[in-house]
């Protein structure tokens, strides 16, 4: 099925197919960073996944599970019983079906005609999660009778707490009831983290001969509305919903009693406003976002422009901008995949967008890592290390590591397989440091830098110092038994990405210490006391030059790890031609793949991209040509890196092919791959491909670089970014690029093709 | 929809209607007392309830819930993907649909033709829960291609642990995997009672071009089978399943490891046998049951005979005959209603069937109450009483009271309503005593009598002694603030049923003590030591004659309680003409009903039925005529009592009307009333109506009475029963009744119309 059309602001599903419910549920997910909701239909289908999540409300169902975002009671649910028959799109005849997500204002609509025996109705559904009121959701349904005979309608609508996270129930059933004869309320609590929730629902029905009856069941409370739909007549159902929780920072009093009152008062106050009014209010907030550095792509393929809208829409749906105790999940708030946990994906893939476009949100994201220092200490200690070792998967900042320890049983042996990432996928610590360094360099946020960033930068270096293993045979410090970004290879020694980034982390801390001692001795003293820097720095200084950095072979290839290059090579062409890697794993098992030069995702190449100044152009080219054919791109994080790196290397045709594949990860016609949620990293990757890849922006070792190069198919690219308080717009054409600085602030220095420029107001640089 | 046809051994659903899934799931439930399973379809529908329960495996999901039988992972589940389209009866065209339960052998079958675009298939499903192997389930599916073009089929079949009890998940996900490359196993554990479960599944597929792939997800493991269905070809899928738990008494070693091995060994051993073999083995066990005292009714209405088959089938499906730590739930094992808890329903409604037909099962049921003494002490103590106060709702015998304390919120006030039954519906204690006394009288089980029954009889009397409240104004001992069988009336004083049965309990204990002191002083001494009988008996003797027994008014009406007769009377005719009492509650709320002479179910009349010797015929007649018109029969326990009492009173036409309504409670065309499970008490009531009501059997004060009276519509009734080790068959015709005793045991004395008879071999008593 195709979800994109000549519309730059819309994702559309034409025709209903119950095999692919998960696709539109995920890619049309609604949200506002406080909550995110899959776009499951009002009526129910067996294979649907009716998930709605509230950011940060982690709970652990049982001792043997890890904490995850609980799927909250479902409020979108409505059953339509037409002349006694429960409506379903699998019954009768459905025509003119369309389900659409308006990316500009976040409204989801669905409409169709439904014929069943003598009945013919037109249904129109509209809904949105308010971006203006974080706790608020609205739904508006119109039913028209297209036939010449009257129809009896019953609607069951309320809140259903029988939903689970694939069977795990996170909520203890709380009180429920009808308030003021009018509003449904339900107050469950998470069973381990003890977070109180208040769900409130109000209905407004416009129909003939309306009667109603409330009904309660276990974990459920709903209204039954009965009305007539005369021949050619119509009815409307408006449903307004809110969620409050006892971790909401915008509440003064987080008692259930107070939350209930707040919710009721809000419902009552909003009765003055129509659905349209409330949508407009939300749309205005979306508009503010869209007006911030809009990206305009003039391309042969409209999908390129649509993709950037799609990416930015979802980045804002999924990012808890309201609370620095929360971060972005690997599937955002759009599915149960990865349990709402935060990975390195944030720093390497999503944070750059916020650094350059919404520094205030970026600040929250890096503050989350500062708040996570305790958890990182906990993890380091439990592994016998010092300093801050960031968790591979993170939930609440102080939780430390939350990666599940045991995965599904091996199909053949029946034994549970151990998930090693939480123990040995250690590059996440330098990834976090890298993200923090990018944040302070791009934003120039002095307060965060001095209060928080330095501490992270030293504390992570301290970890690496304790992590290094001395090899007396070689007189080098090594990092053994890790997983690098290429997760096909478990328990490798000296993964290039890990060693280089750890080395960078240590190097940077050493130079920072020197700088601080001179420029800001007070800050240094404070951190010295807190972290014991005197001792740590001596240790790091002694080790730094002996950290083993895998060196290029005589062919110029940086070994991914100690043994990679000695492994067997097979031709992956036939697997790469197909989408997905199922083919490879039909022929080989993971153990066999581990013994071959097959890479899951950019590993050495990611290093070359992120630390471009450390490696010469020629070496990058050789490594690209060596590794890419061996890479399955079996991670949504891989294609965008390849697109950018190949653009950097001047391979624009190849790059654009990667770009097209990368932007299609969720938006494209892959009907199953988004079932567990959309790919947050991939969405950050779309923005990076456009602004970093083709816009040529990069923050390298504290210096801004701008070197645009458009693919053949693009005639013009307009983008913008914030840089240390200045707002810059760039227009790239085939002829060159023009920069404009918005206000009369400071001049901005940047590098382009090794020349240093200063942007005062506007500047054109010829190609 | 009509579920009965001219077939005395079958319940059939003709035509599929997704509105009424619950009906056939419940009334066609399968089971063997160890497990019970709703007959949900293999494929899934949104409003289904896929419940399967293992008797006795109670678990409490959370502190604020009470323990309940957990819905175990679903093994019947199969998805059929035909040419890429998931099969559903709501899609395409369905014809020749029939779903049938064979009551004789417990096999469920379902078949239909399904047309979808160019596809036309015939499906045939068969399944049973083995009565020969308590842990074992079998399913057999045949798919025929009726069209001239080949079809591609994918089947997903395995075990799904994502099911819950209406949202409450009782299981911690355990290990799962494939054993010996062949058998699926899953090992979850209940989260509070820590019961281990082992689920094992094997498949045997007979199809062309078969390939397979295992798949695992959260709480799920299943096989995907891919095959071709050539034109006019067919395929079969056999699925064998077993469940073991760590409370299984038939296991020597209840470790998970051992249970896994036992299950695999059984699967392997049974490969020698076909589905038919295994069904035959189970059928043989059913046959043994059917051969025990078969009941033959020659009636104008075949439904009468069918009803007794239906009742006996379900009584055996739901009764955990294998373990005296378990008892019968109010909905058997056929639904989540009443959480699998045991009520007075057992003693008053189901136990009589087992007493007279399967005394070995009856023994388990009363032993459960003996094991429940600790729980009953706990309850008495917590309420400030002595002795044994049985719980209103019971789970594990030692748990004591498990009635939920709080019910759903009041719709108007939004406040939770307190459920009072667990506190003040106290007649359950004398009901248990009554059941135990019936058991020992009917069976003559000396060992149980001496070892267990006497203790229960004294301990409950001790409770009543402590419960009685002295009223100095009247010089009577009263029982205030109770709920009687008529649950419309909460907090009443001196409910006749409660006071009379308590008085009986005390009286009986006093006479038993006198008897024992003489005949069995050793037993008396033992119990005296254990229960402090010397003190208790003095107290009881002082009180017994001053226990307040509500006396008939001058019109001969026994007041249901102190205030009932002073309340307003309204005409219930219009509500009673309709089925169900919804009408009444549309016009009045519960508080208003409480203030009127409206009775939910037999209350005074139940007393008159159970203790017929205490009340003269004329008084019974007057009370019947007074109370019945005021009774809504808003409990499945009411109609059968009225049918029997009216038969006793010679009102046979009226009685037969009650009988017909009563036998239709589950079997009849009420499409929603069985959704939460079938009505166990009503099924016991069906047997009682036939054998007690029309067969005229009764055990009154230790004496057997037989006074048959057939309704007009019946020409002949044959039934049988066990009595103190003797097996008696009775044939009732319009002319009289003939008794036959099976073997050369003891003579049996019985009373009929106040004459004493002795049955040696055979005897005919003319009407």
Residue B232 annotated as lining a ligand binding site = no
Pick the CATH number of A372-388+397-550 from 3.30.1600.10, 1.10.540.10, 1.50.10.10, 3.30.70.3270: 1.50.10.10
- Residue pair A200/A183 in contact (Cβ under 8 Å)? The answer is yes
CA distances from A326 to A137, A248, A323, A652 (A): 21, 11, 6, 38
In the predicted model, is pLDDT for residue B580 greater than 60? no
Pick the CATH number of B32-291 from 3.10.450.200, 2.60.120.620, 1.10.10.60, 2.70.98.40: 2.70.98.40
Phi, psi of B609 (to 5 degrees): -75, -50
Element (H, E) at B396: none
Residue A86 to residue B214, Cβ atoms within 8 A: no
- Residue pair B392/B401 in contact (Cβ under 8 Å)? The answer is yes
What pLDDT shows up at residue B586? 81
Nearest by CB to residue B90, choosing from A88, A181, A217, is: A88
Both tokens of residue B54? 């293992």
| Digit-coded pLDDT (tens) for A682-724 | 999 999 999 999 999 999 999 999 999 999 999 999 999 999 9
Residue A167 to residue B218, Cβ atoms within 8 A: yes
- The span from the CA of B31 to the CA of B285, in Å, is 13
Nearest by CB to residue A62, choosing from B44, B46, B191, is: B191
- The span from the CA of A60 to the CA of A249, in Å, is 22
- Residue pair A139/A238 in contact (Cβ under 8 Å)? The answer is yes
Residue A409 to residue B219, Cβ atoms within 8 A: no
What pLDDT shows up at residue B743? 81
Nearest Cα neighbor of A601 from A571, A572, A627 is: A627
Burial B491-511 (b: 16+ CB within 10 A, else e): ebbbbbbbbbbbbbbbebbbe
In the predicted model, is pLDDT for residue A252 greater than 70? yes
The strand pairing partners of A101, in sequence order, are A11, A108
In the predicted model, is pLDDT for residue A401 greater than 90? yes
Which percentage of chain A shows pLDDT scores above 70?
Answer: 98
Give the catalytic positions of A in this structure: 487
Provide the CA B89 distance to its chain's centre, in angstroms. 31
Which percentage of chain A shows pLDDT scores above 90?
Answer: 92
In the predicted model, is pLDDT for residue A4 greater than 80? yes
For residue A43, the chain B residues in CB contact (below 8 A) are: 46
| Digit-coded pLDDT (tens) for A597-644 | 999 999 999 999 999 999 999 999 999 999 999 999 999 899 999 999
What pLDDT shows up at residue A586? 81
| Digit-coded pLDDT (tens) for A426-455 | 999 999 999 999 999 999 999 999 999 999
- Residue pair B508/B459 in contact (Cβ under 8 Å)? The answer is no
For residue A219, the chain B residues in CB contact (below 8 A) are: 166-168
Rg of chain B's alpha carbons, rounded to an integer? 27
- The span from the CA of A129 to the CA of B656, in Å, is 60
Q: Residue B310's pLDDT band (boundaries 50, 70, 90)? A: very high
Nearest by CB to residue A176, choosing from B61, B191, B409, is: B409
What pLDDT shows up at residue A1? 84
What pLDDT shows up at residue A414? 64
Residue B88 to residue A85, Cβ atoms within 8 A: no
Annotated binding-site members of A for substrate: 344-345, 600-601
Chain B nearest C-alpha distance from A600 (Å): 22
Residue A47 to residue B176, Cβ atoms within 8 A: no
Which percentage of chain B shows pLDDT scores above 90?
Answer: 92
Which chain B residue's Cα is nearest to A61? B172
Which chain A residue's Cα is nearest to B217? A408
What pLDDT shows up at residue B632? 94
* Domain positions in chain B: 32-291
Residue B176 annotated as lining a ligand binding site = no
For residue A164, the chain B residues in CB contact (below 8 A) are: 162, 164, 167, 169
Q: Residue B288: which residues within 8 A CB-CB, separation 6 or more?
A: none
In the predicted model, is pLDDT for residue A408 greater than 80? no
In the A/B pair of chains, how many CB contacts fall below 8 A? 138
SS3 assignment, position A272: coil
Residue B290 annotated as lining a ligand binding site = no
SS3 assignment, position A144: strand
What pLDDT shows up at residue A5? 87
ipTM over 0.85: yes
| Digit-coded pLDDT (tens) for A466-515 | 999 999 999 999 999 999 999 999 999 999 999 999 999 999 999 999 99
| Digit-coded pLDDT (tens) for A326-350 | 999 999 999 999 999 999 999 999 9
Residue B214 to residue A85, Cβ atoms within 8 A: no
Average pLDDT over residues B47-54: 96
- The span from the CA of A386 to the CA of A531, in Å, is 10
| Digit-coded pLDDT (tens) for B320-372 | 999 999 999 999 999 999 999 999 999 999 999 999 999 999 999 999 999 99
Nearest by CB to residue A414, choosing from B86, B179, B336, is: B179
The strand pairing partners of A100, in sequence order, are A12, A109
Give the catalytic positions of B in this structure: 487
Average pLDDT over residues B73-86: 96
What pLDDT shows up at residue A417? 82
For residue A411, the chain B residues in CB contact (below 8 A) are: 177-178, 214, 216
Beta strands in A16-147 (DSSP E): 30-31, 35-37, 52-54, 78-82, 85-86, 93-102, 107-116, 119-129, 136-145
Mean pLDDT of chain B, nearest integer:
96
Alpha helices in A490-545 (DSSP H): 496-519, 521-531, 533-544
For residue A416, the chain B residues in CB contact (below 8 A) are: 175, 177
Mean pLDDT of chain A, nearest integer:
96
């Amino acid at each position: 099925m195709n979800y994109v059309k000549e519309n730059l602001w819309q994702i559309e599903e034409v025709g209903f197919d119950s095999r692919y419910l998960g696709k539109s549920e995920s890619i049309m997910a609604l949200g506002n960073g406080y909550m995110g909701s899959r776009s499951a239909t009002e009526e129910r289908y067996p294979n649907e996944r009716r998930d709605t999540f509230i950011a940060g409300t982690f709970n652990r169902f049982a001792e043997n599970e890890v904490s995850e975002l609980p799927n909250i009671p479902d409020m979108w649910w409505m059953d339509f019983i037409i002349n006694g028959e429960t409506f379903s799109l699998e019954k009768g005849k459905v025509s003119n079906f369309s389900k659409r997500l308006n990316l500009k204002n976040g409204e989801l609509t669905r409409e169709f005609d439904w014929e069943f025996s003598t009945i013919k109705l037109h249904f129109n559904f509209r809904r949105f999660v308010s971006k203006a009121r974080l706790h608020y959701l609205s739904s508006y349904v119109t039913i028209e009778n297209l036939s010449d005979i009257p129809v009896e309608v019953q609607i069951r609508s309320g809140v259903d707490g029988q939903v689970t996270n694939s069977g795990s129930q996170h909520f203890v059933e709380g009180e429920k009831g009808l308030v003021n004869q009018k509003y449904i309320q339900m107050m469950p609590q998470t069973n381990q983290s003890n977070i109180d929730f208040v769900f409130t629902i109000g209905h407004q029905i416009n129909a003939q001969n309306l009667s109603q009856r409330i009904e309660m069941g276990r974990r459920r409370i709903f209204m039954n509305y009965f009305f007539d739909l005369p021949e050619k007549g119509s009815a409307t159902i408006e449903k307004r919903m809110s969620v409050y929780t006892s971790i909401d920072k915008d509440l003064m009093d987080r008692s259930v009693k107070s939350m209930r009152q707040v919710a009721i008062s809000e419902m009552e106050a909003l009765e003055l406003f129509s659905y349209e009014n409330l949508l407009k209010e939300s749309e205005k907030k979306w508009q503010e976002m869209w007006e911030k550095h809009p990206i305009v792509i003039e391309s042969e393929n409209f999908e390129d422009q649509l993709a950037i809208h799609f990416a930015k829409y979802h980045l804002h749906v999924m990012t808890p901008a309201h609370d620095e105790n929360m971060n972005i999940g690997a599937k955002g708030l759009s599915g149960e995949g990865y349990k709402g946990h935060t990975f390195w994906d944030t720093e390497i893939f999503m944070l750059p967008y916020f650094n350059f476009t919404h520094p205030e949100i970026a600040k929250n994201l890096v503050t989350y890592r500062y708040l996570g220092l305790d958890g990182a200490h906990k993890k380091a200690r439990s592994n016998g290390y010092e300093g801050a070792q960031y968790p591979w998967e993170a939930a609440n900042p102080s939780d430390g590591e939350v990666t599940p320890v045991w995965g599904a049983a091996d199909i053949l042996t029946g034994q549970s397989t151990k998930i090693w990432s939480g123990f040995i996928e250690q590059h996440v610590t330098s990834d976090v440091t890298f993200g923090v360094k990018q944040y302070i360099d791009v934003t120039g946020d002095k307060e965060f830098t001095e209060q928080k960033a330095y501490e992270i930068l030293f504390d992570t270096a301290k970890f690496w110092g304790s992590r290094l293993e001395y090899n007396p045979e070689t007189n080098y410090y090594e990092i053994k038994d890790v997983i690098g970004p290429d997760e096909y290879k478990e328990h490798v020694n000296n993964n290039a990405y890990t060693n280089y980034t750890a080395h960078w982390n240590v190097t940077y801390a050493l130079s920072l210490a020197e700088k601080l001692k001179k420029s800001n001795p007070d800050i240094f003293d404070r951190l010295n006391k807190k972290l014991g820097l005197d001792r740590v720095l001596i240790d790091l200084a002694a080790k730094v030059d002996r950290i083993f950095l895998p060196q290029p072979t005589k062919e110029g290839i940086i070994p991914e790890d100690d043994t990679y290059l000695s492994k067997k090579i097979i031709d992956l062409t036939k697997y790469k031609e197909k989408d997905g890697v199922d083919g490879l794993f039909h022929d080989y098992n993971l153990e066999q793949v581990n013994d071959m030069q097959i890479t899951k995702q950019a590993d050495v190449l990611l290093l070359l991209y992120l630390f471009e100044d450390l490696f010469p152009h020629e070496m990058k080219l050789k490594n690209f040509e060596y590794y890419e054919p061996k890479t399955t791109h079996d991670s949504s994080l891989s294609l965008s890196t390849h697109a950018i790196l190949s653009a950097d290397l001047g391979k624009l045709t190849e790059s654009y092919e990667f770009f097209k594949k990368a932007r299609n990860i969720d938006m494209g016609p892959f009907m199953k791959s988004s079932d567990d949620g959309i790919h947050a990293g991939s969405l950050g990757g779309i923005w990076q491909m456009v602004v970093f890849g083709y816009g040529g922006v990069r923050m390298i070792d504290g210096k801004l670089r701008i070197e645009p190069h458009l693919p053949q198919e693009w005639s013009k690219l307009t983008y913008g970014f914030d840089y240390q308080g200045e707002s810059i717009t760039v227009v790239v054409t085939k002829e060159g690029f023009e920069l404009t600085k918005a206000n009369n602030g400071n001049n901005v220095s940047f590098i382009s093709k090794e020349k240093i420029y200063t942007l005062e107001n506007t500047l054109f640089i010829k190609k």
